[in-house]
């Protein structure tokens, strides 16, 4: 290793969006590959919105000028959207919003603002979104993990014990996804009750990346809970993964702290313009969700009745399943799972192999049909 690098960096691994060596596949065969591995929207912005965006690039955006580092207009639009889409008595104010280069950046800002310099550890329940742990480790922040039940509910006694026992540094942040990735389950009443009972010196991060699909949100509780923050993204239902826009909703003092630790011009002008455009046209963009959820339910019903698949219900735009292989060794099970994953990929369907199972993004109807046929064929040949 290079002698000037931090000694603990050698143990860390970079986040790979397409594990299994498919990193270059999208450019190699753009028409042939069904990319169902990163939970994006299967459809792009409309021609009309693309033209509007091009017009903004040509007429409005000054490339020689720095972007608006205050994100004033975008924050206003987001505050309005969040207020409209939740049952709230008082509207969300722009001071309760922080905007970031993907919600990944907010995860890092939260860690910097809470745990850095040996002040805190984080708690996550596996399996869950990997970026919390990955980002914490790049900052030298300890990650405490607990497990989940067979239906992926957080092991709450273990989580409670971890909080009681972890010292030097204590747990400062608990990360949860609502609904969870990769497993698709929303937080239960028991999990929510546990989160509500956490002491005020622990920050609760509720990542609602899939809110537009699940319609489950804790935004209405933020007014009473200064130690809660909700993360959202425009990378999924809003079709803007390529523009990298995420946002946080929280108490104004926490938002002020997050603004302090971020980079001054974290969001390019074009991304801000794309986000404003998408939010202005939200009715059109989000109107495709019911059809996508119907596709998801159809996939769920097909796969639930398959004798070799164990499938969990999902409130998001993806499905988690495992193979039922009977009495085989863990090594054999893993090898078979890898075989299914690789065969699907070689036939042109890229999904995510994760946590001893497969996470499959709901795509277009034809993509979904191909996934069903290909998976069926592969399972038949096992
Ligand atoms: C996709 C996803 C995000 C989005 O990250 P961005 O950086 O905004 O693209 C955040 N959290 C979870 C759990 C996700 O699945």
pLDDT, position 291: 98
Residues 6+ apart with CB under 8 A from 105: 246, 262, 266
DSSP one-letter string for 80-146: HHHHHTS--SSPPPGGGEEEEEHHHHHHHHHHHHHTTTTT-EEEEESSS-THHHHHHHHTT--EEEE
Q: Residue whose CA is closest, atom 14 of ligand 1?
A: 209
The atom of ligand 1 lying closest to the CA of 38 is: 1
Q: Which CATH code for domain 66-285?
A: 3.40.640.10
The answer to whether the beta carbons of residues 329 and 338 sit under 8 Å apart is no
Q: Is 181 in the pocket of ligand 1 (CB under 6 A)?
A: yes
Return the ligand 1 atom nearest residue 129 CA: 13
Radius of gyration for the chain, computed over Cα atoms and rounded to the nearest angstrom: 21
Residue nearest to atom 2 of ligand 1 (CA): 209
- Nearest CA residue ID for atom 7, ligand 1: 102
Number of the ligand 1 atom closest to the C-alpha atom of 236? 1
The preferred substitution site among 37, 99, 103 for testing ligand 1, maximizing ligand atoms within 8 Å of CB, is: 103
Cβ of residue 233 lying under 6 Å from some atom of ligand 1:
yes
Atom of ligand 1 nearest to the CA of 177: 13
Do 358 and 19 form a contact (C-beta atoms < 8 A)?
no
Measured from the CB, is residue 186 less than 6 Å from ligand 1? no
State pTM to two decimals.
0.96
Task: Please give the chain's pLDDT, 382 residues, in tens.
Answer: 899 999 988 888 887 777 654 444 555 554 689 999 999 999 999 999 999 999 999 999 999 999 999 999 999 999 999 999 998 989 999 999 999 999 999 999 999 999 999 999 999 999 999 999 999 999 999 999 999 999 999 999 999 999 999 999 999 999 999 999 999 999 999 999 999 999 999 999 999 999 999 999 999 999 999 999 999 999 999 999 999 999 999 999 999 999 999 999 999 999 999 999 999 999 999 999 999 999 999 999 999 999 999 999 999 999 999 999 999 999 999 999 999 999 999 999 999 999 999 999 999 999 999 999 999 999 999 8
Strand partners, 352: 359
Residue ranges covered by each domain of the chain = 9-45+288-381, 66-285
Domain covering 9-45+288-381 assigned CATH 3.40.50.300 in the classification: no
At 17 the pLDDT is 73
Q: Of all atoms in ligand 1, which is nearest to the CA of residue 246? A: 8
Helix (H) and strand (E) counts in the chain: 14, 13
Residue 4 CA to ligand 1 center (angstroms) comes to: 32
């Amino acid at each position: 290793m290079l002698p000037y690098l931090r000694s603990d960096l050698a143990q860390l691994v970079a986040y790979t969006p397409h594990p299994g060596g498919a990193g270059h596949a999208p450019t190699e065969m753009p028409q042939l590959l069904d990319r169902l591995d990163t939970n994006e929207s299967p459809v792009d912005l409309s021609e009309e919105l693309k033209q509007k965006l091009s017009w903004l690039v040509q007429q409005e955006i000054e490339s020689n000028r720095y972007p608006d580092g205050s994100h004033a207009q975008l924050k206003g639009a987001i505050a309005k959207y969040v207020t409209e889409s939740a049952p709230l008595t008082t509207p969300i104010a722009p001071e309760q919003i922080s905007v970031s280069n993907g919600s990944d950046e907010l995860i890092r800002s939260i860690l910097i603002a809470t745990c850095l310099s040996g002040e805190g550890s984080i708690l996550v329940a596996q399996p869950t979104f990997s970026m919390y742990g990955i980002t914490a480790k790049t900052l030298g922040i300890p990650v405490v993990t607990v497990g989940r039940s067979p239906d992926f509910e957080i092991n709450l006694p273990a989580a409670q014990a971890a909080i009681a026992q972890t010292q030097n540094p204590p747990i400062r942040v608990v990360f949860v996804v609502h609904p969870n990735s990769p497993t698709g389950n929303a937080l239960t009443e028991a999990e929510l009750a546990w989160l509500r009972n956490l002491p005020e010196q622990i920050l609760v991060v509720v990542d609602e990346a899939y809110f537009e699909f699940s319609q489950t949100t804790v935004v209405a509780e933020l007014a009473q809970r200064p130690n809660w923050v909700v993360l959202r993204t425009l990378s999924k239902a809003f079709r803007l993964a390529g523009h990298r826009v995420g946002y946080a909703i929280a108490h104004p003092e926490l938002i002020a702290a997050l603004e302090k630790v971020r980079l001054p011009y974290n969001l390019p002008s074009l991304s801000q313009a794309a986000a404003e455009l998408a939010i202005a046209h939200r009715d059109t963009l989000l109107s495709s969700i019911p059809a996508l959820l119907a596709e998801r339910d159809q996939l769920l019903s097909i796969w639930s009745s398959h004798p070799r698949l164990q499938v969990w219900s999902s409130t998001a735009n993806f499905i988690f399943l495992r193979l039922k292989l009977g009495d085989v060794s863990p090594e054999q099970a893993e090898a078979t799972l890898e075989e299914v994953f690789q065969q699907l990929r070689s036939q042109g369907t890229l999904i995510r192999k994760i946590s001893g199972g497969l996470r499959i993004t709901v795509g277009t109807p034809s993509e979904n049909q191909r996934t069903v046929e290909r998976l069926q064929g592969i399972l038949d040949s096992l």
